[in-house]
Amino acid sequence: MDRPLVDLQGVAKTYGSGDAAVHALKDTDLAVYPGEVVGLLGPSGSGKTTLLNLVGCIVEPTRGRMALDGEAVFEDGRWLRPDLRALRLEKLGFIFQFHNLLPFLTAGENVAVVLDLAGAPRGVAQARARELLDYLQVGHRFDAYPAKLSGGEAQRVAIARALANRPRIILADEPTAALDSERAGIVLDLLRQVAVEQRAAILVVSHDEKIFNRFDRMVMLRDGRVVEAQTAA
Amino acid sequence: MNLALRDVRHNLGRFLLTCLGLGLLLGVVLSMIGIYRGLVDDALTLVRAPAADLWIVQSGTRGPFAEASRIPGDVREMAARLHGVADAGSMTFQTAETEHRGRALRLYVVGFEPGRPGGPARLAAGRPITRTHYELIADVRTGLELGERVQLGRDDYTVVGLTRNQVASGGDPVVYVTLLDSQRLQFQLDPPAARREQARGAKPAGTDTVNAVVARVLPGVPVERVAGEVLRWKHLAAVSQEGQEALLLQSVVEKARRQIGLFTGILMTVSAVVIALILYTLTMDKVKEIATLKLIGAPDRTIVGLIVQQALAMGVIGWSFGALLILLVKDVFPRRVLLLPEDAGLLALAVLVVCIVASGLGVRLALKVDPATALGG
């Protein structure tokens, strides 16, 4: 079997201390493999977003060990990489609930900005942005600003941005919440296609039952613990 | 990819309106500096016009620009005979009000002896005074035109020449008349008042009094030595040209200078606060975008660059608006607004520094934005 791209061992997160301590995530083990689309499910306050933030290196775990793409990034209560933003730029792609495109950049620029930040030449960034937008069937909206895009177009541009730097891990937070069921299905199919073609691991937080059947695996969280992990029907 | 430029491009209208507002504020700052420069230049232009080395004035006074000074008219002959003096001329200074085209016109009347030091340095139009009486040279700011007649005291004068930038420190434009005319204007009584004085047996007052005598010293002769002789033997006061200029600036313009300086300082502070608030608000509006940038891996320098570059652009465009505005309207001001390139340059530099410092608030906010803000609704 492949080495997991996301590997969490005994990872916990506690906010505050003493009587005011909130154990948002308790000793969690999780492994997500290349080509896998994993759904992260659970009621509000169950720890889904905390888990996503931990994998996204946005929040520091309280304890445990975390490795991304085979590289240990957190161990013995400390980050092993000094520059977490560079780590995110290199290994992670994010898809948000409300697309979060930068309103002052065109669709093409929103995708190219990731490569620009990574130091790619302008021509390369532009070509990659066009290639991705064509692949996601929004190439004709290359020069449009986000305010002029429909919800589905904007979400596809956001997916293109998440894929721009060819990340091995894609984290999606309620990516279909603002879409109808038809568009939600298209987005999940796209993510699945990316997972298969790029051998990427995709972790999706969702409440949307309509898309549960599109996950390879579902991880259920309750009160900060993984209570169930099952293969989608 | 320049994010600052793209953000400005996307919100061009709002950005330009903000710059326009800032430009108006900086225009006021620039106009205050220009008014101060104009004030100083006006004051010095008048005192520099005679091209004198020495001002001989009433003993115990600092000259006609600082306080009342009256000396006998024959002091000029005495001064001209002093060793080392090349030439000397008597001068009077007074304020007069007349009517011109139905409006009150305040004038600063300078009396001088044609052919001797004290007259205007150069004429913008017309000719010098050639007759003993009833001719005057006026500054263009009076609104008088060549050949026009204007009443001063009981007499009508014809405008024969025009000068530029000859304005008293109080802002009144200068007119030059002959010394005899100015003395008549200063001392001649109205007929009823003269009859009353005659009826009560008063002797007619002598009119051969002047406010100052200006002297030019021969090359190589120390001005201080001539001044010392005037002080020691003639019981008069003598002030060098440099001394007169310094006195004028200290006595007459100093309070205005401090007032304008203080006001300019307050305006600069207000500008800094306004710039800081604008940048803070602009940053507040972009919290989600900044969080997204951080989440996708943008380093701090990219985010700081976004704010600081916009701050600098705002400063440069605001300053340009302000400078252009003042250049267009400076002649509408009742006082002369003198814009010097070095003042405009210094203000531009100050604005850039203020912009960088003021952007600190926005930068601080941006650096504190949690990337997790980008997640969720």
Q: Which chain A residues touch B289 with a CB distance below 8 Å?
A: 102-104
Select the more confidently predicted residue: A179 or B101. Answer: B101
**How large is the average pLDDT for residues B231-236?**
76
The mean-pLDDT minimum among A40-49, A122-131, B176-185, B243-252 falls in B243-252
Predicted confidence (pLDDT) at residue A28 exceeds the cutoff of 70:
yes
Q: Which chain B residues touch A86 with a CB distance below 8 Å?
A: 297, 299
**How large is the average pLDDT for residues B204-213?**
79
State the pLDDT confidence band at B377, using cuts at 50, 70 and 90.
Answer: very low
Predicted confidence (pLDDT) at residue A1 exceeds the cutoff of 80:
no
pLDDT score at B189: 65
Predicted confidence (pLDDT) at residue B191 exceeds the cutoff of 80:
no
**B36 φ/ψ angles, rounded to the nearest 5 degrees:** -65, -45
Instruction: Select from A97, A104, A174 the Cβ nearest to the Cβ of B7.
Output: A104
Predicted confidence (pLDDT) at residue B41 exceeds the cutoff of 80:
yes
pLDDT score at B294: 87
Predicted confidence (pLDDT) at residue A228 exceeds the cutoff of 80:
no
* Mutation target vs A (from B6, B295, B306, B367; most A CBs, 10 A cutoff): B295
pLDDT for B83-118, tens place per residue? 889 999 999 999 988 888 888 899 999 999 998 998
**How large is the average pLDDT for residues A80-88?**
86
**Does A113 contact B3 at a Cβ distance shorter than 8 Å?**
yes
**How large is the average pLDDT for residues A68-79?**
88
Predicted confidence (pLDDT) at residue A233 exceeds the cutoff of 60:
no
Predicted confidence (pLDDT) at residue B302 exceeds the cutoff of 80:
yes
Predicted confidence (pLDDT) at residue B57 exceeds the cutoff of 80:
yes
Nearest CA in chain A to B375: A96
Q: CB pairs below 8 Å between A and B: how many?
A: 76
Could you tell me if A156 and A141 are in contact, meaning their C-beta atoms sit under 8 angstroms apart? Answer: no
**How large is the average pLDDT for residues A195-224?**
85
Q: Which chain B residues touch A60 with a CB distance below 8 Å?
A: none
Nearest CA in chain B to A105: B6
Select the more confidently predicted residue: B69 or A73. Answer: A73
| Closest chain B C-alpha to A99 CA, distance in angstroms | 10
Predicted confidence (pLDDT) at residue A215 exceeds the cutoff of 70:
yes
Q: Provide the domain count of chain A.
A: 1
pLDDT score at B163: 93
| Closest chain A C-alpha to B377 CA, distance in angstroms | 7
pLDDT score at A231: 63
Domain membership flag for residue A38:
yes
> Domains of chain B: which residue ranges?
3-43+253-375, 91-209
CATH of the domain at A75: 3.40.50.300
Q: Which chain B residues touch A98 with a CB distance below 8 Å?
A: 377
pLDDT score at B113: 92
Domain membership flag for residue A1:
no
| Closest chain A C-alpha to B4 CA, distance in angstroms | 9
Q: How far apart are the first and last CA of chain A?
A: 22
Q: Which chain B residues touch A85 with a CB distance below 8 Å?
A: 294, 297-299
Most confident region among A12-16, A24-28, A62-66, B183-187 by mean pLDDT: A62-66
State the pLDDT confidence band at A232, using cuts at 50, 70 and 90.
Answer: low
pLDDT for B319-329, tens place per residue? 999 999 999 99
State the pLDDT confidence band at B129, using cuts at 50, 70 and 90.
Answer: very high
Predicted confidence (pLDDT) at residue A22 exceeds the cutoff of 80:
yes
Predicted confidence (pLDDT) at residue B184 exceeds the cutoff of 80:
yes
**How large is the average pLDDT for residues B123-149?**
91
The 3-class SS string of chain B reads CCHHHHHHHHCHHHHHHHHHHHHHHHHHHHHHHHHHHHHHHHHHHHHHCCCCCEEEECCCCCCCCCCCCCEECCHHHHHHHCCCEEEEEEEEEEEEEEEECCEEEEEEEEEECCCCCCCCCCCCEECCCCCCCCEEEEEHHHCCCCCCEEEECCEEEEEEEEECCCECCCCCEEEEEEHHHHHHHHHCCCHHHHHHHHHCCCCCCCCCEECEEEEEECCCCCHHHHHHHHHHHCCCEEEEHHHHHHHHHHHHHHHHHHHHHHHHHHHHHHHHHHHHHHHHHHHHHCHHHHHHHHHCCCCHHHHHHHHHHHHHHHHHHHHHHHHHHHHHHHHHCCCCCCCCHHHHHHHHHHHHHHHHHHHHHHHHHHHHCCHHHHCCC
pLDDT score at B3: 87
What residues of A are in the B interface, CB distance below 8 Å?
A: 49, 52-53, 56, 58-59, 85-86, 88-90, 94, 96-98, 100, 102-105, 109, 112-114, 116-118, 122, 125, 145, 161, 173-174
